[in-house]
Structure 1
Amino acid sequence: MRAGRLLSTLLVLQTRGRRTARQLADELEVSVRTVYRDIAALQANGVPVLGDAGHDGGYRLPDGYRTELTGLTADEAGTLFLTGLPGPAAALGLGGLAAATTLKLMAALPEGLREQATRVRDRFHVDTPDWYGTADDTPHLSAIARAAWEARRIEVRYRRWASPREVDRTLDPYGLVLKGGHWYLVAADRGDPRTYRVSRVLAMSPTGEVFQRPRDFDLAAHWRDYLAEFDARRVRGEMTIRLSPTGLEMLTDLLDGASARAVAETGVAGPDGWVTARIPYESVEHTTSLVLRFGEDAELLEPGWMRERLAASARAIAGKYAP
C-alpha cells in the first residue's frame, strides 16, 4: 500500500511539477503529515526530491530527472477505457485505479505530448446523465461489476414492471452498459442474455460459482441489437402532427431522437411557418403527454381517435383552471 503511494507521489511530481504538501495531500487523498513522511522516505531511498521554502515553495524534482517506473498493473490496465470517465469509474468502484492509471500514462508520455494530453483533460469533460434526470440509486453496482469482471455467478432479487413485481434470478453477468446516465446489466438467465436495470436490483449475493462467458459474445453488438429490438417493439404506429416555429425550436428537448429525425425527414412547411410531419408513437398515454408538452405550439391531426383522446385531456385540464 505504502509503496504504491510513494510511487504515486513521485509520478505526481514528475508529471505536474512543483507541488505543496497540501496539494499533494489533496491529490493523493492522504494527510499532510503522511506527505511529509512519504517525502522523507523517498529522499532516504535516493530520490532527489527538493524542498523549496517560502510562499511559492513546495516539493519538486530536479530538471531532467525522470523515473521509468511507470508500468501498469493488470488491474490498472483493465481500467484504461475509464480514465476519461471519473464519474462512472468511481461508481464501479474503480475510481482509484482509474486515477492511478491516468497518472502513470501521463508520466510515460514525452513532455510535449504530456502538455497536449493535459490540455485535452483541462478543456473537455464528459457528463453522462441527462439535464433533468437524477442519478439512479445503485448500491449493488460495484459488487455486480466485480462479479462481471471475475466471471462469477450471482443471485439477485429484482423488481420488474410486470407482476409478480419481485423475482429471484440466478445470473451470469456478461457486462455493464451506461446509457443516458443509467446502468444496465447484460446477464444470462439460463443461457439467454437479458437486460436488467441495475437500480432495480434489490439484493445481490455471489453464489461462489464461476461461469464460462461465451467467447463469441460481443457486448457492444448485443447492446446495438437490443436497442434496435426495443425501438421496434415500443412503436405502435404513426401520427401526424403540426408544429409551430416555436415548437420546432423545442423539438430536440421534448422529443426522442427517432421522433426528431422523423420530423426532419417527413416535415413539410406550410405558408404560416408551421411544419406538418409524421412521427412514430408508443402508447396513447405517452403520446397524449408528449403532445401536451408543446402546449399551443403543436396540433395532433391523425389518427382521429387519438385526437379525440387528446381533446378530452385538454378539456379536463382546462376544467381544473376554469374561473
Structure 2
Amino acid sequence: MHINWRTRVQLPNYGRDQLNAIFLHHLSEATDDDLLAAYLHHTEGQIALDCAVMAEDLNGRFCDEVEHLDKLVAPKSSPFTAAYLSAAEDLDNTLKQACRTTKDVSRKAADIWKKLSERTRDDLACRYRQADETHPDRSAVGLLGPLRNETAKAERDVQNALHRHRNEMHRLATLEGEMAAFLASDDSFSLEEVHAMTPYEFEHMVATLARRDGLHVVRASGGSRDLGADVIAVTAGDLRVVFQCKHRYAGAGKVGSRDVQTLNGTARPEHQADIVVAVTNGTFTKPAIDFARAHDIQLLDRMDLRRWATWGDPLLSVLGLNDAPPLAARDSGPSYVHAG
C-alpha cells in the first residue's frame, strides 16, 4: 500500500490513544484497491449530491420565473392582446416543463446519493471489482449522466424561451409606439367618436376609411334612393364593394335580419357588388348573422369596426378576404406591465 505520510491531510484524532490505534491499524491493512474504491465511492456520492443540488437550485429559479410571469398582464382590448398571450403561454409552458424536469432530476439524484450512503459499510473494493453492469448500484449511478443531460437541456430550453419572450416583448413595444402615433393621427377614429356621430357622418367616415385603405370611392353617402347602398368603393383589384351603414346611438342597438335582407336584394342585382358589407357601430342579431352567412354577406360590427377605424387594420384583412396581416402581426407592438 502506498501512503504519503507527509501529506497535508490531517488524520482523524478521536481523543483517546486506543481509538487512534484502532484507526491506524485498519488504515495499515487497507490495500490500494480499498483506498481507491473508498475514493471512488465518495466521489460518486458527491457527484450525485451535486446533481441533486444543482437541479433543486434550477427548479427554484424556474419556479420564480413562473411566479414573475403570473404577475404580468397583457393589455386588454388591444390589437396586441393575442400576441402577448401567445408569448406568455410559450414561456409559461417551457418554464413549467423545466420545473417538472428539474424536480424529478433532483429527487432521483438524491435517491442515488442515499443508496450510495447506505452502501458505505459494504466491501467497496468488491463492489468496484464487479464487472456486472446490471448491479443495482452501477445501474443507479449510470443514470447520473442522463439526469445531468436532462437538467442541462431544461436550462437551455428556458434560456431560449426567455430569449424569444424578450424579443417578442421588444417587437410589441415597437408596435405599441407606432400604434400610439396612429391613434393620435386623423386616420384613426375611436369608438367614442363613432358613437357620437350622426348617421350621415357615419357614412362619410366609412368612405374616408375606404379611401385610407386605397379604395376608389364611387359613392360616399346614401340617400332616399340609394337602393340599400350607402357607400360604394372599388378595390385595387377592381372588386366592387357595397356598404350598407347602420349607425346605432351610443353603439347600443342591434341590426336585424330585415336590413340585411334588403341589402342582399339590391347589392348584387342593382349595384353589381363583388363584396357586400353591412357595417354598424352596434351589433347584429343572430337571425341577421345566420342570413348573412347563408348569402355571402360580410358583417362588420363594433368590434370589427374598432380594428378597422381605430387600429388601422385594412378592411379586407378585417373581413378575412385576403392575406394582409392585422396590425398586431406586423413587424413590431406593447410590453407587459406589472399588475397592480
Query: Given the two structures, how large is their TM-score scaled by the length of structure 2?
Result: 0.23
- By relative contact order (CA 8 Å, sep 6+), the higher-ranking structure is 2
More helix by share: 2
Query: Given the two structures, how large is their TM-score scaled by the length of structure 1?
Result: 0.24
More strand by share: 1
Instruction: Give the greater-gyration-radius structure (CA).
Output: 2
